């Protein structure tokens, strides 16, 4: 069942080093996004889609959002959330276990803060991630097993769940992008807009201190002048428009313009506005700072934020094949240093959302693309674990769901789901249910054929 790969491979056929879509990694990227209405890009259309979704979809009450903590590379479920202490050491791994707040449930000794939070969490130990791989990491982020570019030439075209949310639900507040990717180490770590079009690629917001600076030769006055010129050109076309489309686009174009000139997005991306006490609570680690930024973004009105919890390009930091594979390392040298960082940022984020009254609105998901092999030793390195898509664990918190439970179980070796298998489609359906997006909604592929946003799955009944 193990799936190998070459770590040096950045999956060049997918242009992993190229910026595509709307990237907000610098001020010019922000200008491109904000001036979408006059530059032929997509933000006004996206805002318009939000309005259409409100009018034609199910009611979308509240301020729903998702924060996805993407543990890129595939964390070992056996060495974290689904320990097997009864097994021999080469299977159970080197870590001891500790009890959680749920009777009889234990996790890895290096997750003490997580263990104290389990009454607020749902731990799923039976996720069937078959078909999932990385570089690109798309099956779990799309909810579709066919989204596997290494096995399916159309795999890269399945839209990310975050992109569907952006199209069908949009941002919770005008003047903000509906979905944002943070800590982009490699484009292959994320799923994108696919068949929905690049206009539904999540924004990449990795340089918040510079996002809203205008280039030195561009001022708000100049933007206003350019907008006036654009409006003059639109008036010339308006006489030819018989459906009112241009009048409608004025509204959405104004919202796009406000993304640059308005204060809402500036403030959301500026973590220096946070009280020092809160910044200190999250700590200085880059992942923790991104978690704080994610909280600010969803609080301001972004609907979906994905953070790449990775320090590396290529396959990702959690790809712990062993000491012979630097910089990833094995279970002790590679995984062990990551766990306290995750434990702190995760618990801090959950407590912060809870104290702000946001936890019922924000669904927090922590997962990678697959689990890791029951038997230690891979590719000549005795202290790591290979890929294992057959079963993995993930954690859900918040979103107004029923928590304080474990869903499913793996078998005695941690190699297969033993009960209640959960599919990628089940996760996608649960997220769409959270947003009130109809599960029978469709989009069109490149041949204009309708495809369902959920093809294999339904919301997790245990949460409802």
Higher pLDDT, 82 or 263: 82
Q: What is the largest CA-CA distance in the chain?
A: 78
pLDDT tier at 342 (50, 70, 90 boundaries)?
very high
Please check whether residue 137 is in contact with residue 72, taking contact to mean a CB–CB distance below 8 angstroms.
yes
pLDDT at 184 over 60: yes
- Judged by average pLDDT, the poorest of 20-34, 189-203, 376-390, 446-460 is 20-34
Architecture of the domain spanning 65-213+265-463: 3-Layer(aba) Sandwich (3.40)
Distance of alpha carbon 335 from alpha carbon 371, whole angstroms: 13
Q: How confident is the model at residue 216 (pLDDT cuts 50, 70, 90)?
A: low
What is the predicted pLDDT for the residue at 42?
A: 43
Could you tell me which residues come within 8 angstroms of residue 134 by beta carbon, excluding any fewer than 6 positions away? 5, 72, 73, 74, 188, 189, 315, 316, 319, 369
Q: Identify which has the larger pLDDT, 88 or 59.
A: 88
CB-based contacts of 334, cutoff 8 Å, min separation 6: 317, 320, 322, 323, 328, 384
For residue 355, what pLDDT band results from cuts at 50, 70 and 90? Answer: very high
- pLDDT, position 225: 66
pTM attached to this predicted model: 0.81
- Mean pLDDT for the chain? 83
pLDDT digits 0-9 by tens, 223-265: 566 656 656 555 555 554 544 444 444 544 555 555 545 577 8
């Amino acid at each position: 069942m193990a799936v190998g790969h070459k770590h040096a491979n950045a999956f060049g056929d997918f242009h992993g080093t190229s910026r595509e879509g709307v990237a907000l990694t610098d001020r010019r990227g922000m200008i491109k996004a904000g001036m979408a209405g006059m530059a032929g890009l997509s933000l006004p259309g996206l805002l318009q889609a939000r309005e259409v979704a409100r009018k034609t979809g199910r009611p979308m009450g509240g301020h729903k959002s998702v924060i996805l903590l993407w543990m890129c590379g595939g964390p070992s479920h056996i060495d974290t959330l689904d320990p097997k202490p009864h097994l021999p050491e080469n299977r159970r791994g080197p870590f001891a276990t500790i009890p959680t707040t749920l009777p009889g449930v234990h996790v890895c000794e290096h997750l003490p803060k997580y263990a104290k939070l389990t009454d607020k969490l749902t731990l799923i130990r039976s996720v069937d991630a078959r078909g999932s791989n990385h570089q690109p990491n798309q099956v779990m982020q799309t909810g579709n097993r066919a989204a596997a570019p290494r096995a399916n030439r159309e795999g890269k075209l399945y839209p990310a769940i975050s992109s569907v949310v952006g199209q069908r639900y949009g941002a919770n507040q005008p003047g903000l992008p509906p979905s944002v990717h943070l800590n982009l180490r490699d484009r292959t770590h994320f799923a994108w807009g696919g068949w929905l079009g690049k206009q539904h690629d999540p924004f990449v917001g990795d340089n918040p201190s510079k996002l809203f600076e205008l280039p030195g030769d561009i001022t708000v006055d100049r933007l206003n002048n350019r907008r006036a010129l654009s409006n003059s050109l639109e008036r010339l076309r308006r006489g030819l428009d018989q459906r009112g489309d241009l009048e409608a686009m004025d509204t959405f174009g104004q919202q796009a313009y406000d993304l640059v000139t308005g204060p809402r997005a500036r403030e959301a991306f500026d973590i220096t506005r946070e009280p020092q006490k809160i910044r200190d609570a999250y700590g200085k680690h880059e992942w923790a700072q991104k978690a704080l930024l994610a909280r600010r973004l969803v609080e301001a009105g972004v609907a979906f934020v994905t953070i790449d919890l990775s320090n590396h390009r290529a396959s990702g930091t959690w790809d712990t094949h062993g000491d012979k594979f630097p910089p990833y390392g094995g279970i002790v040298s590679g995984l062990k240093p990551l766990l306290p960082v995750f434990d702190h940022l995760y618990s801090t984020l959950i407590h912060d959302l809870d104290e702000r009254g946001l936890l019922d609105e924000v669904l927090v998901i922590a997962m990678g693309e697959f689990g890791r092999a029951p038997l230690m030793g891979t590719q000549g390195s005795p202290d790591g674990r290979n890929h294992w898509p057959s079963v993995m664990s993930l954690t859900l918190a918040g979103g107004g769901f029923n928590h304080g439970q474990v869903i499913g179980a793996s078998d005695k070796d941690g190699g297969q789901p033993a009960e209640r298998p959960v599919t990628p489609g089940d996760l996608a359906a649960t997220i769409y249910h959270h947003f009130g997006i109809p599960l029978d909604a469709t989009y069109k592929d490149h041949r204009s054929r309708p495809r369902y946003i959920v093809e294999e799955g339904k919301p997790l009944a245990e949460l409802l």
